Amino acid sequence: MERLLNDLNEQHSRIRMQLAKLEALPSADDWEKRELEFAKLKDVLLPHLSAEEKILFPHLVSDPSDRWQINYYLEQHALIWKSSSELSERSKQAQNWGAGMRVMDTIIQNHLDSEQEQYPHMLTIIDEKNLEKVYQRFLQEEIRFRKELQNRKTMPW
Ligand SMILES: [Fe+2]
Ligand SMILES: [Fe+2]
């Protein structure tokens, strides 16, 4: 379990680092840097969300008390996908882009805090012998999604 948990925490750290870089660009004059750093954020964030939804979460819902928590996470994910999509389309030169980014940052930080608090307990439901398989499939899904993201010229996100 340690490996999966460490990897999830490490990915969360990378997402937070990328959010900090965007928060350091409050001026619309930095729109080119915003474009670049936002693309990097999507590259670490979206494959992570996809792998959690497709691979990890289905393993965690068998505990009835965790089912509520997973539904809550899926609702948060839906908001994050929506924000990502909207901020992708909105001009990085727009005066309200930074405000939108700040809202997305808050949602994501809140979500990651909750996952990091709950995962050590929630992951114990996965059978020891299944863990490695889940971990490998999680990594594969991330790679698959990242490729899809890079190959797409007109991304919905
Ligand atoms: Fe998540
Ligand atoms: Fe996560």
Q: Which ligand is nearest to the CA of 111?
A: 1
Q: Where are the domains of the chain?
A: 2-151
DSSP state of 25: -
Q: How far is the CA of 73 from the centre of ligand 1 (A)?
A: 6
Band (154; pLDDT cuts 50, 70, 90): low
Q: How far is the CA of 54 from the centre of ligand 2 (A)?
A: 12
Q: Which of 152, 137, 142 is CA-nearest to residue 10?
A: 142
> Per residue, what are the HEC states of 35-53?
HHHHHHHHHHHHHHHHHHH
For 2-151, CATH gives 1.20.120.520
Band (157; pLDDT cuts 50, 70, 90): low
Q: Which ligand is nearest to the CA of 123?
A: 2
Integer CA distances (angstroms), 96 to 20, 72, 86, 102, 128, in order: 18, 28, 12, 10, 47
pLDDT, tens digit (0-9, with 9 covering 90-100), for 41-57? 999 999 999 999 999 99
pTM for this prediction: 0.94
Among the residues of the chain, which ranges form H helices?
A: 2-23, 31-51, 57-60, 64-89, 97-122, 128-151
Q: How far is the CA of 24 from the centre of ligand 1 (A)?
A: 24
Q: How far is the CA of 9 from the centre of ligand 2 (A)?
A: 8
Q: Which amino acid is at 95?
A: Q
Question: Any idea which of 15-29, 38-52, 57-71, 108-122 has the lowest mean pLDDT?
Answer: 57-71
